[in-house]
Structure 1
Amino acid sequence: MVNLIWLFFILIGFIVAAVQGNIEVFSEAVFDGAKTGVTICFSLISVLVLWLGLMRIAEDAGLLKKLSILLRPVVRFLFPTIPKDHPSIGYIMSNMSANMLGLNNAATPMGIKAMEELQKLNLNKDTASPAMCTLLALNTSSITIIPTTIIAIRMANQSMDPFEIVGTTLMATAISTTAAIVVDKWYQRKALRKE
């Protein structure tokens, strides 16, 4: 559906440019946009490779296991219905760790694997389980300690201080994550009362 929306916008832009006699402006904007997109992608790749490499080193050094031990009480509180040693717990903790480091692209495959594992526990396969809803809420709001992707975009656009957003991002994502947890727990309690 999103592809159709973008196709619609491109076609409308082309038609408006043709009617106004500005096809060359349209073509120039298309190529400038493509050039900018490629430039930003290359700068993002370098930063993501750096952080993924650091994450791999942290994993090999055992730091991720220590982080998962620190996160375990939080995960148990947020996901009380998941059995203690279920494989989804590891994926959830990896997803949360990657999101905290601003590695949203790296967090996505872990989130998908977590959802697949949670679906195996789901009694009603046509409806998302409370644990699945919690994971979605956390993944969407995601507290971010280091907004890696945004920093990379700011660096690609020659920002004077690409790291100046770290504090405000941390505060904003802490608020959004807290709100997501509160709303999620409220809806879970409301659903339990109905049963």
Structure 2
Amino acid sequence: MLNYIWFGIILISVVVGSFTGKIDAVTEAAITSAETAVEIAIGLIGIMALWLGLMKIAEESGLVNVIARIVQPITVRLFPDVPPDHPAIGSIVLNMSANILGLGNAATPLGLKAMQELQSLNPKKDTATDAMCMFLAINTSSVQLILPATIIALMKSSASEIFLPTILATSLSTTAAITASISFSKMKRFAVDKEEKIND
């Protein structure tokens, strides 16, 4: 479906650019965006290697298990379908911690690792589980206790003025995301999907 959407956007851009005489701007924007995509991808390689390496060290040393046990009362309620000692819980906890601390780039590889672990528990590989949807909702709406460095750099002296509003806004967004995820998972329409998974 996304392929059709992207194709439609590109087609509309080319058509509109041709009719308005701004096809050069469309071409330039496409090239610039491609260069930016490559820069971001290459930049993430180092970050992902670093944090996945650190996570592996944390796993081997038992640190992940210690952190997971500390927040187990919360994770058990949010992710009832995931065993408390499963590696997915450790990845989820570290991802949430990175997001809370404003380490967006660090959270990316941890989030990918968490989804990979959750997928290993998925009986129907082409359908997201409740745990995957809950994790995605929390990851997307994450509470921010520490502002990301990019925001601090942009806001400079006025960064302190948005500290409390940021915490309040992200807390509300996370609460709304968790509530929505739980509500959708209890709907009859999605309960049928669960039954199908069990039958498979």
> Is this a same-fold pair by TM over 0.5?
yes
Which residue identity does 2:109 align to in structure 1?
A: A
Contact 2:88–2:117, Cα closer than 8 Å, also in 1: yes
Cα separation, partners in 2 of 1:61 and 1:163, compared to 1, 3 Å: farther
**Alpha-carbon distance in 1 for matches of 2:61, 2:84:** 24
Structure 2: runs of 5+ lacking an equivalent? 189-200
Structure 1 match to 2:156: 161
Which one is further off, 42-51 or 138-147? 42-51
TM-score by length of 2: 0.62
Aligned to 2:85, what secondary structure does the other structure show?
coil
What is the Cα deviation at residue 75 of structure 1?
0.8
Asked whether 1:113 is paired with 2:116, we answer yes
Once the two structures are aligned, what percentage of the paired residues are identical? 32
- Structure possessing the higher relative contact order (Cα contacts under 8 Å, 6 or more residues apart): 1
Once the two structures are superposed, the pairs formed by residues 24-39 of structure 1 within 5 Å of their partners are 24-35=24-35, 37=36
Once the two structures are superposed, the pairs formed by residues 30-109 of structure 1 within 5 Å of their partners are 30-35=30-35, 37=36, 41=40, 45=44, 48=47, 52=51, 59=58, 64-100=64-100, 101-102=103-104, 103-109=106-112
Contact 1:88–1:118, Cα closer than 8 Å, also in 2: no
Contact 2:138–2:178, Cα closer than 8 Å, also in 1: yes
Structure 1 match to 2:4: 4
Which residue identity does 1:114 align to in structure 2?
A: E
The CA RMSD measured in Å over matched residues stands at 4.5
**Alpha-carbon distance in 2 for matches of 1:25, 1:110:** 39
Cα separation, partners in 2 of 1:42 and 1:85, compared to 1, 3 Å: closer
Aligned to 2:73, what secondary structure does the other structure show?
helix
**Alpha-carbon distance in 1 for matches of 2:157, 2:2:** 30
**Alpha-carbon distance in 2 for matches of 1:45, 1:166:** 27
Which residue identity does 2:51 align to in structure 1?
A: L
Structure 1: runs of 5+ lacking an equivalent? none
CA offsets 1:143-194 (integer angstroms, 9 cap, x no match): 334464xx44x58xx7353993665443322211112223444555666xxx
Structure 2 match to 1:138: 138
Structure 1 match to 2:195: none
Contact 1:118–1:131, Cα closer than 8 Å, also in 2: no
Which residue identity does 2:143 align to in structure 1?
A: I
Aligned to 1:176, what secondary structure does the other structure show?
helix
